[in-house]
Amino acid sequence: MIIALDGPSASGKGTLARHLAKALNLAYLDTGMIYRALAARLLEAGSDPADSEAARRAARVLTVADLERPGLRREEVGQTASVVAAIPEVRAALLELQRQFAMRPPDGTAGAVLDGRDIGTVVCPQADVKLFVTASAEARAARRHKELLDRGEPSIYARVVQEMEARDARDSAREVAPLKPAPNALILDTSEMDEEAVFAAAMRIVAARTPSSPAQGPQSPD
């Protein structure tokens, strides 16, 4: 079983993906971390992230171990990830890694949950369940602001809004694999929902789409 979760930053898709993977005993891949790991490599090497040749070379040698690098959640890394992610050759070089994970998830699990921007449209168009997880810009900015403060990082709300808008615009406007719902994706607007409600709604959708899945039974995210 493959579950594809796409959506903008701070929409709640990452938390939902982790909960679904745990409850359904599926492997989980946060594909944003792949672009972040690549961005971190380029930042470290002092390369220009818009230099497509350098980015493509780095993308070719990226491994799953790179996803464990510290500091990948930093805002600078996220912004740079969004820049390198717009380079078509980079996306092409990273496609196979993601598809391999979906088709042959590690540890013999029966399937995978992948979250990102183009999972339902490009990486796994054959996914059994496709959700486009979104929320209002205000709700997402408030969540990201809180997340940064909780992590002990300095955060100014107005700046969070600005950076989020810049990233959303870049991710949605790029020519290759832009952020958009797959035609057969269900839209889940989490603006007014807490984590438990989002999880319960997603489990109902999974159960309806995959009648023989464990999502049929009672589950909780923990």
Report the C-alpha gap between 130 and 187 in whole angstroms: 9
Which uninterrupted H or E stretch holds 3? strand 2-6
| Min separation Cβ 171 and ligand DC, Å | 5
| Min separation Cβ 218 and ligand DC, Å | 30
Residues at the site binding ligand DC, with contacts judged by CB under 6 A: 9, 31-32, 35-36, 78, 81-82, 85, 116-118, 167, 171
| Min separation Cβ 130 and ligand DC, Å | 13
Nearest to 113 by CA among 133, 83, 135: 133
User: Nearer to ligand DC by C-beta: 36 or 111?
Assistant: 36
User: Nearer to ligand DC by C-beta: 162 or 220?
Assistant: 162
User: Nearer to ligand DC by C-beta: 137 or 207?
Assistant: 137
| Min separation Cβ 204 and ligand DC, Å | 24
Tokens describing residue 47: 């390369």
User: Nearer to ligand DC by C-beta: 36 or 145?
Assistant: 36
Instruction: Scan for tokens 């339902």, then name that residue.
Output: 120
Instruction: Scan for tokens 């959640």, then name that residue.
Output: 73
Report the C-alpha gap between 181 and 134 in whole angstroms: 10
Nearest to 62 by CA among 85, 38, 79, 86: 38
| Min separation Cβ 174 and ligand DC, Å | 8
User: Nearer to ligand DC by C-beta: 129 or 215?
Assistant: 129
Strand 129-134 with 186-189, pairing: parallel
The count of other CB atoms within 10 Å of the CB of residue 125 is 14
The count of other CB atoms within 10 Å of the CB of residue 129 is 24
